[in-house]
Structure formats: structure tokens, C-alpha cells
Chains A and B, each alone.
Chain A
């Protein structure tokens, strides 16, 4: 059995026909080539597959592609125009909020969702807000610093900027 779906991914209308058991993360990676959504634990624990579904952070390894028919999905590739960095990405760069980088797309998207709800979170709120994202390098200190820096930048009206060293 195959099911037709239509959804918006990173602002682009997409139509596809998918097997019902195809996971959203597989659809994004294998069918659309959006490999920024990482497959880590595949058990809805690590958060590496986090994307925004109609603005909410969700784990795309635990959603069927057929379930998001009609929805809008944002992956790390769609967060800022090509060649630019979203203020949250910039803050992760500046604060060294990553080591191996595997968890980073999920961390960044969870941060975007967190700051949309709570623009100036305390350190405790940041740690609680990111509890669904695991950094296997254990680089949490700088991740928390990056989120706080991103919050400050966004409050000062920061927008996506071209990548500079």
C-alpha cells in the first residue's frame, strides 16, 4: 500500500507517494535529501531527529510521513537562507556549542522552539527545555551558554546573517 501526501517542507510544497511505515525522518533524508535531521537512537530519546512541525519541536523518528500530510515542516536546512546562519546557529558557532556536531541540528531546532515560547529562559529553563536532546560528547555547558547568547541576540533583533569566520 502506498499513500499520497502533500506537505510544505522548508517553505516548498512537496508531493509524494509513500509507504505508510515510512518515518518522517526517512522521508526527509531519503526522499528529499535533507540529511540534517539525524537518525540517532530511533527510539524517541536522543532528539537528533528533531524538526519543527507547524512550529513545534518533534522527534521525526516517531512520526509517520503519512501523519504529516498537510502540515508544514522545518528542518535545519530551512532555518535560514543558504549561505546565512540563523541567530541560534550563530550563537552555537560563537559559543562552541558543539563538539562532534551530531546532535547540533536537533539542539538548534529545539532551541528555536524553546525561545519562541520563552524568549529569555533561565539556565534551569534551558536545561529543562532541552531535556529531549542528548549530546553524547556531553558538551552541555557550552550548549546552555549558546542558548542564552541566542536569546540575548534575538531579543536585540538579530536576524540571519551571512556566514563569516
Chain B
């Protein structure tokens, strides 16, 4: 099972990758780990004429602190995200999410930048990226711009990146102390993709929730923030009754996927169940 034929070129820098993207236009695709792109190329859902390999660009690697933000290079593999102590210290929600991506071999090869740029509806990261209010740095011919998580996931397999832009890094604001986290996922047993994944962050002030943030992936064509549930719980005591009551309304008015992995009604029920679990676990961790 091969992809359709294509030409291949390795870019040695982000600038070179952008020049190549400009030269080849929409017939070109970037490849890094290839674990999002190659599967859809084999299925001929994508048939780029030119692959530009950015997998060896050193400036896209690494994890660093920049003031109150954690900055993760786009080429950081899922395994590195899942094991990097700086990420675990500042954004354990992302650690937990990355450890649930695919399987060991996939995590060794796939990159966080590739997964996000691909914007697969069943990808794990969007839930955490939305809840963490991360920003994506895109570099293009006219310089760099920051894209907020809430603007980044546009549609099914469509991110806000332009065809001549390279996603270079992911910036995550470091959370205040007393914040608990949880990622709950119902995985497809064969692929490991999320049928539904719910990420929750809870910051407590005494017994009440000062802040609640919830991201949902897998359930819908595009990942979403459960803003109504967050509003209902902000300022409330996060006991089981309150959480269950709030989560029971999750998915109202949201378009749910309806496919062979689960009907829309099933996904709605699973979303509510996982959201309840995620909120209770995050609240428990926030209590310490």
C-alpha cells in the first residue's frame, strides 16, 4: 500500500521550508514524523506532489521556559512530550495526554507539531491544547504570528495554518498553583485514536472552583471548549453532585460525529461520562 508518487526534498531550515512551500504552492506538504500524513497518503486521501521533509531542522526541537510560558518545539515527539520533566512540571495535562497518543512506536515517531497541524478530529492533543489556552506559533513568508488555540482548529482536518506557513512551536502559559488536571479518553481499540477525549483543568480557591477549563476532542468534527459547563461550575464547589449535574448538559447544541465508531447519541453520552470523570479527577488533584 503505497502513497501516490511524489518528489521529496529535505529542508535544512524553517526559511528553506517556507521558500519551498512558496515555490510549490498547495501541491506541497510538510512531513516530519509522518504519522499523521503517511496514513492518509496511503489511502490517497492526500496526494501531494512534493514532500518537504522538516524532520531534521534543529531549531524546531526542544522544550524551554520563556517567562510564564512553556515553549515546545514542533518536532518534539509524543514520547518526549510524555517524558520531559519541564513539561510535567508546568503542564502535566499535556504529559498525560501525550502518554495516551497511539502506542509506544507511534509516540516514538509522531510529533506534536505534526499532530496539531494535521487537525485530525480524533487526535488527542486538541482537548488539552484548548484547555491549556496554548498558542501556536506559525512562521510564513511575512514573518511569525501567534494563533490562539480557540482559533487554531478550523474544521475537519483543517487548521488555521496557511499553505505557506510552518508551525514552529507551541506556547503554553504556566498554570497557577492549586490546579488539577485530567485527560479521560475512550480509545478506538485498534488505532488508539480518541472516539471521545476530554481534558479538564480545575483551579481551586478553598473549596470552590476559581477556574474550570474543559476541552473535548474526538466527539465532533472540530474540538471544542465546553464553555457553558465551565461557566456553570466556576465559583461552585466541585462535589460529585454538582459535577454530574453540569456534565449532564455537555454536548448540547454541538454537532457530534456519527460514524462506524459511534453514533452521535453514543458520543454524547460518552462525552458526559468522561467529562464527569475528568472534572472529579482534576478537582481531586487540585486538592492535592
23 contacts between A and B (CB under 8 A): A20-B5, A21-B2, A26-B2, A43-B191, A44-B105, A45-B191, A50-B105, A56-B109, A57-B104, A57-B105, A59-B109, A62-B34, A62-B35, A62-B38, A63-B34, A63-B109, A64-B38, A66-B53, A110-B105, A113-B104, A131-B104, A132-B103, A132-B106
- B156 contacts A by Cβ under 8 Å: no
Q: Which of B1-40 contact A (CB under 8 A)?
A: 1-8, 31, 34-35, 38-39
Question: In the complex, A3 Cα to B10 Cα: how many Å?
Answer: 11
- B55 contacts A by Cβ under 8 Å: yes
Q: Which of A123-137 contact B (CB under 8 A)?
A: 129-132, 134
Contact B7 A62 (CB under 8 A): no
Expressed in whole angstroms, the minimum distance between the Cβ of B82 and any Cβ of chain A is 12
Interface centre among A58, A67, A110, A129 (most CB of B within 10 A): A67
Q: Which of A57-110 contact B (CB under 8 A)?
A: 57-59, 62-64, 66-67, 110
Q: Which of B202-246 contact A (CB under 8 A)?
A: none
Which positions in B face A, CB cutoff 8 Å?
1-8, 31, 34-35, 38-39, 42, 51, 53, 55, 79, 102-106, 108-109, 190-192
Expressed in whole angstroms, the minimum distance between the Cβ of A165 and any Cβ of chain B is 33
Question: In the complex, A114 Cα to B79 Cα: how many Å?
Answer: 13
Contact A20 B6 (CB under 8 A): yes
Question: In the complex, A58 Cα to B102 Cα: how many Å?
Answer: 12
Contact A67 B1 (CB under 8 A): no
Expressed in whole angstroms, the minimum distance between the Cβ of B27 and any Cβ of chain A is 14
Residues of B within 8 A of A58 (CB): 105, 108-109
Number of A-B residue pairs, CB cutoff 8 Å, is 82
**Given contacts A1-B8, A19-B5, is CB(A47)–CB(B51) below 8 Å?**
no
- A120 contacts B by Cβ under 8 Å: no
The listed residue (A20, A129, A130) touching B8 by CB distance below 8 A is A20
**Given contacts A1-B8, A21-B2, A58-B108, is CB(A132)–CB(B34) below 8 Å?**
no
Q: Which of A31-68 contact B (CB under 8 A)?
A: 42-45, 47, 50, 53, 56-59, 62-64, 66-67
Question: In the complex, A130 Cα to B35 Cα: how many Å?
Answer: 18
Residues of B within 8 A of A63 (CB): 34, 38, 109
Question: In the complex, A114 Cα to B1 Cα: how many Å?
Answer: 29
Question: In the complex, A63 Cα to B174 Cα: how many Å?
Answer: 34
**Given contacts A59-B109, A62-B35, is CB(A20)–CB(B7) below 8 Å?**
yes
- A23 contacts B by Cβ under 8 Å: yes
**Given contacts A42-B42, A67-B55, is CB(A21)–CB(B191) below 8 Å?**
no
Residues of B within 8 A of A45 (CB): 190-192
**Given contacts A62-B38, A62-B39, A67-B53, is CB(A21)–CB(B108) below 8 Å?**
no
